[in-house]
Amino acid sequence: MNIHEYQAREIFQAHGLPVPDSEVVDTPEGAADAARSLGGRVVIKAQVHAGGRGKAGGVKLAADPEEARDAAGLILGMEIKGLTVRKVLVAPTADIATEAYVGIVMDRVSQRPVMMVSPEGGVDIEEVAETNPEAIFKETIDPRYGLLNHQATRLAYRLFSDPSLARPAAGVLLGLWRAYRSADATLAEVNPLISTSSGEVLAIDAKMNIDDSALFRHPALEAMRDEDAEAPSERRAREAGLSYIKLEGSVGCCVNGAGLAMATMDLVKYYGGDPANFLDIGGSSNPEKVVCALEIMAGDPNVLSILFNIFGGITRCDDVANGIVEATSRLELRVPLTIRLTGTNEDEAVGILGVAGFEADTDMDRAVQRAVRAAGVQ
């Protein structure tokens, strides 16, 4: 789960990082008030789950409260990568001497967290990794011991040769690790970590992603979820325990299992169609989930054809069949439905569907071809 910059700033501050105080507001007037209370020049930053906010015009400087009001007025309501800006952060501007990058990511290859720093901060770190990889320094963290003092020191001196800057920077790295570990994060990043001309080290940006699987033990983080950042259909699916991602195509795909769901979408493409979504109904076969899945797909105006692809294992085909019959009796389906079922209780499922007037196929390729044709794609 992504959290917003203002939320990550709060967490970082709580772990002792030198993050300047800021305010988050949702009206231009609020931005003016915040600028007044912070005093001096401020920066107004869009709070959306998208990178490249600056390039998209979502970050503006303001010299006084009036300018802050105008800047917030321009940013609030703006769309950045399809997401509407509903909140802005108002923060004091800093007198930047140098900009560094510091971050922790979960590294799949070493199966450990890795801390990365670069004296070339303030830009996209992936870009630095491509153009100037020797400017990135890394320390692998042993999860049993955490980030060790000497590791933090080693990295801090990669960023600053002056001990009066390297010492506080090492403190930032240790604090970032504490924040990462205690929040069950999969990413924690400060970009940029700056030094000012008066010799301070400050974290003026904050980014954090939280491990979805760990949210059960972090109710305070779960409460940070921005439901407005999700498509309504995706939120509904999440609440029903379905894994759903909306795409732009016309063939709705409902599958049990993530791998088979991806393979089904790929097969739709192979036969000339475009998948309208990724939808995994999971291992258990609760008919209610099937009803919800069908309603979500039917509610997508782009969908011209719906395909069920079920390989029964733990999932019982008869449960899915019951869900389909139940859902189609509740809502009038405006698009054709193609059903492929095989595996556990397949015969019962075919019987249940037959009584309700549906045919079921057992072959995946044939069913996908039929669903693509039904969407009017040749």
Partner 1 sequence: MAIFIGEHTRLVVQGITGRDGSFHARQMRDYGTRLVAGVTPGKGGQTFDADVPIFNTVVDAVEEAGANTSVIYVPASFAADAILESADSGIELIVCITEGIPVADMMRVMPYIEERGCRLVGPNCPGLIVPGICKVGILPGQIVLPGRVGIVSRSGTLTYEVIFQLTSAGIGQSTSIGIGGDPIIGTDFVDCLRAFEADSETDGVVIIGEIGGTDEQTAARFVSENMTKPVVGFIAGQTAPPGRRMGHAGAIISGSEGTAEEKTRAFRENGIAVAERPADIVDALQAVV
**For partner 1, the closer CB: 199 or 283:** 283
Q: How many CA atoms lie within 13 A of 38 on its CB side?
A: 27
79 a catalytic residue: no
- Kindly indicate which of the ranges 31-39, 104-112, 170-178, 317-325 contains the residues binding partner 1, using the contact rule CB under 8 A: 104-112
Question: Pick the catalytic residue: 6, 101, 180, 244?
Answer: 101
DSSP annotation of 185 reads E
Distances (CA, A) of 308 to 41, 102, 245, 292, 303: 57, 45, 16, 13, 13
Q: Is 179 exposed, middle or buried (0-12, 13-18, 19+ CB in 10 A)?
A: buried
Does 192 sit behind a cis peptide bond, omega within 30 degrees of 0 on the bond before it? yes
Among 161, 198, 213, 378, binds partner 1 (CB under 8 A): 213
Closer by beta carbon to partner 1, 166 or else 267: 267
**Chain-centre distance of CA 154, in angstroms?**
32
Q: How far is CA 187 from CA 33, 94, 132, in A?
A: 33, 25, 22
Contact status, residue 270 vs residue 335, Cβ threshold 8 Å: no
Minimum distance of partner 1 from residue 2's CB (angstroms): 10
263 binds partner 1 (CB under 8 A): yes
CA atoms within 13 A on the CB side of 291: 11
Residue 257, strand partner residues: none
Interacting span for partner 1 (CB under 8 A) from 15-23, 25-33, 156-164, 337-345: 337-345
Residue 262 binds partner 1 (CB under 8 A): yes
Single out the residue of 40, 198, 217, 378 in contact with partner 1 (rule: CB under 8 A): 217
Q: Which of 21, 26, 79, 212 binds partner 1 (CB under 8 A)?
A: 212
* C-beta closer to partner 1: residue 96 or 136: 136
Q: Does 82 interact with partner 1 (rule: CB under 8 A)?
A: no
| 1 contacts 210 by C-beta, under 8 angstroms | yes
Among 106, 114, 123, 148, binds partner 1 (CB under 8 A): 106
Look up residue 132 and give its amino acid: N
**CB of residue 254 to partner 1, shortest distance in Å:** 13
3-state percent breakdown (helix, strand, coil) of the chain, nearest 5? 40, 25, 35
Contact between 268 and 232 (Cβ < 8 Å): no
244 is a catalytic site residue? no
378 belongs to the binding site for partner 1 (CB under 8 A) = no
Interface with partner 1 by CB under 8 A: which residues? 106, 108-109, 111-113, 126, 142-144, 181, 184, 186, 211-214, 216-217, 243, 245, 247, 255-263, 265-270, 274-275, 278, 280, 283, 311-315, 342-344, 364-365
